[in-house]
Amino acid sequence: MASVGFANVVVRFADGVDADAVTRELDERYPYAVMNESFPTAPPEVINLAQVSTLPRALAPFLAFLAVASLVHALLVTGRARRRDLGVLRALGFTRRQVAAVVASMTATIVGVGLTVGLPFGLVGGATGWRLVANNIFVGTDSRFPVAAIAAIVGAAILAALAVAGLPARAATRVQAADAPRTE
């Protein structure tokens, strides 16, 4: 007696095809061939991963706020710590605008170093982290770098840094040449 085997077939519908209508037609032609269990479902690990997809969107603004706050703090502290140096520059003939340019150059240096170091480490770390997660849940490990988004982030960081530099620059321009060399 020949045994009757079961064949499993995976069907992928083309774009624009009504999957419900085709499924009903197959069910009418071949009763009990198509069951609710026939449709693939995502593994629980993938579903869990999809549920945390909002985390990066919430984390990005928070980290941007921390970066701006850290930059303002660093510039204010540096301006206060370098008060004598700024006073010497004023005594040498620097104008308020030139002192503000010094603060802007400090800002550009801090942001430039941060982007030069942080961006590559962030991209490599993110790709490595995704590879570790993806290997554990058996999904594709390829990662793509959105070049346009990265360029927009770099541009936004530079513009935000220059906008933020105004407050510490204003504080630095108030330094008087005669007051700065005094000991406190």
* pLDDT value at residue 26: 83
Average pLDDT, the chain: 81
> Given pLDDT bands bounded at 50, 70 and 90, which one contains residue 180?
low
CA–CA separation, 166 and 103 (whole Å): 9
Q: Which residue has the tokens 């449709």?
A: 39
What residue segments make up the domains of the chain, in order of their start? 44-173
Residue 53 DSSP symbol: T
Could you report the per-residue pLDDT of 46-74, keeping only the tens digit for each?
A: 777 777 778 888 888 898 899 889 988 98
Residue 139 pLDDT more than 80? no
DSSP codes of every residue in 9-34: ----PPTT--HHHHHHHHHHHSTTTS
Mean pLDDT, range 170-174, rounded to an integer = 78
Best-predicted range by mean pLDDT (3-7, 90-94, 117-121): 117-121
* pLDDT value at residue 151: 92
Contacts of 143 (CB under 8 A, 6+ apart): 126, 127, 130, 131
CA–CA separation, 171 and 78 (whole Å): 11
Residue 150 pLDDT more than 80? yes
> Given pLDDT bands bounded at 50, 70 and 90, which one contains residue 38?
low
Evaluate if pTM is beyond 0.75. no
Contacts of 134 (CB under 8 A, 6+ apart): 140, 141
* pLDDT value at residue 152: 92
Could you report the per-residue pLDDT of 80-111, keeping only the tens digit for each?
A: 888 888 888 888 888 888 888 888 888 889 99
Residue 184 pLDDT more than 60? no
Tokens found for residue 156: 């936004």
